[in-house]
Amino acid sequence: MNFEFTDEQKLFADQVRRFAVAALEKGALKRAHESGFPFDVAKLMSAQGLMGITLAQADGGQGGTLMDAVIAIEQIAAVCPRSADVVQFGNFGPIRTFAEYGTGAQKARWLPDLLAGRMVLSLGMTEPDAGSAVTDLTTSARPDGSSFLVNGTKVFSTFSPDAAIFLIYVRYGPGLGGIGSLIVERGTPGFSIGQPSSFMSGEQWCELHFENCSVPAGNVLLGPGGFKKQMASFNVERLGNSARALALGRYAYNTARAYATTREQFGRPLCEFQGLQWKFAEMAIKLESAQLLLYRAAVNADRGLPSAYETALAKAACNQTGFEVANDSIQVMGAFGYSRETLVEYCMRRTRGWMIAGGSIEILKNRIAEHVFDRRFDQRKRHADAAE
């Protein structure tokens, strides 16, 4: 067992950090308060080889590992927290599911623009009545000649105000086995996009409505029975979410640490008060332990798909740590930490959302408990007759 980066990983981390300092440090504060997808950053990252790190070279990717992509998020977020969203998009998000299961024709049509930072893809999974219970989704796809007629509503989709294409989870038939997904292009007749609403983080999302929206059969990503495959590759998205949460917590911690060495009260720097020293010690314990869980899940997955259990441990730990550390960092910095002069308050607001998104902490703990007891706990209400 070796807890050190390899020489190649050290070199890669150093290259990414130098790129981030040169291209992204200026404007980091302003960028965090802009709601749209930062296409300018995506184009810069594409030129730098930071989009598609884990995708096969045949697909226009870099053929790297998940751990490389985690390193990229850490190094970018340490300089510009908001730009880490682009690393997430280009390496961990629905693009990864798309590259995993898309046909040659689908990939040839959309991957070049996605990887070049010219186009963004949004994931439509959640519905008004299907959040954590995602398998309750009702958006339907009914065969209609050489097309499918899609009907239903999706909510909370990240990047939906800017996306040109949408990866939509649909129901082809009843039950778990009836779920799959397809790609819908913005502008398709029958597909309407509502007015943007804002999350606490400042990110925006739009309701997506499908009313007899005719989608060509060639846009089917996964047919009936595709749900398990989708969830397996969704664990990659969860690791990106974990890496960002931890990196933003660390960003806040580093800012607070520097502040505590220079800000003086009662004639002494803040870092000399034991009450704050213990806060920093606790933050360090949380950051270091969550990082080990994240690295283990990423390294064990290598180029494949991560284990659901290791991902659940990593995401729950990183989400909780990212938020708690960012929150404590605000406390250490007093009113300055609570103001928009630094990105510490942004890190707190942003990490809060990841405790809900992409598998809430509670749902992850359910998954972990199943591993602990080596049995499945059905979360569904039992029907009265079955319960008797």
Ligand X SMILES: Cc1cc2nc3c(=O)[nH]c(=O)nc-3n(C[C@H](O)[C@H](O)[C@H](O)COP(=O)(O)OP(=O)(O)OC[C@H]3O[C@@H](n4cnc5c(N)ncnc54)[C@H](O)[C@@H]3O)c2cc1C
**Minimum Å distance from CB 108 to ligand X?**
25
Which residues are paired to 213 by β-bridges?
A: 150
386 burial (CB, 10 Å; 0-12 / 13-18 / 19+) is: exposed
Write the binding mask 150 to 169 for ligand X: x where contact by CB under 6 A, - elsewhere.
------xxx-----------
**Minimum Å distance from CB 360 to ligand X?**
3
Q: 299 vs 361, which CB is nearer to ligand X?
A: 361
Q: How many CB atoms lie within 10 A of CB 338?
A: 14
> How is residue 363 written in tokens?
């749902």
CA angle 58, 38, 91 (to 5 degrees): 30
Which residues are paired to 123 by β-bridges?
A: 167
23, 55, 114, 123: residue in contact with ligand X (rule CB under 6 A): 123
CA 51, CA 145: separation in Å to the nearest integer? 37
> How is residue 358 written in tokens?
């992409």
Cβ atoms of 95 and 43 within 8 Å: the answer is no
CA 171, CA 159: separation in Å to the nearest integer? 23
Q: 45 vs 168, which CB is nearer to ligand X?
A: 168
The yes or no reply on residue 126 touching ligand X (CB under 6 A) is yes
Which span sits near ligand X by CB under 6 A: 189-197, 250-258, 297-305, 352-360? 352-360
Burial track 36-73 (b if 16+ CB lie within 10 A, e otherwise): ebbeebbebbbeebbbbbbbeeebbbbebbbbbbbbbb
Q: 148 vs 159, which CB is nearer to ligand X?
A: 159
Write the binding mask 51 to 90 for ligand X: x where contact by CB under 6 A, - elsewhere.
----------------------------------------
Q: 98 vs 156, which CB is nearer to ligand X?
A: 156
Which span sits near ligand X by CB under 6 A: 235-243, 258-266, 288-296, 355-363? 355-363
The yes or no reply on residue 362 touching ligand X (CB under 6 A) is yes
The yes or no reply on residue 204 touching ligand X (CB under 6 A) is no
The yes or no reply on residue 379 touching ligand X (CB under 6 A) is yes
Question: In the window 17-36, what residues touch ligand X (CB under 6 A)?
Answer: none
Residue matched to tokens 């002494």: 268
Residues interacting with ligand X, by CB under 6 A?
Answer: 123-126, 131-132, 156-158, 199, 353, 356-358, 360, 362-363, 366, 379
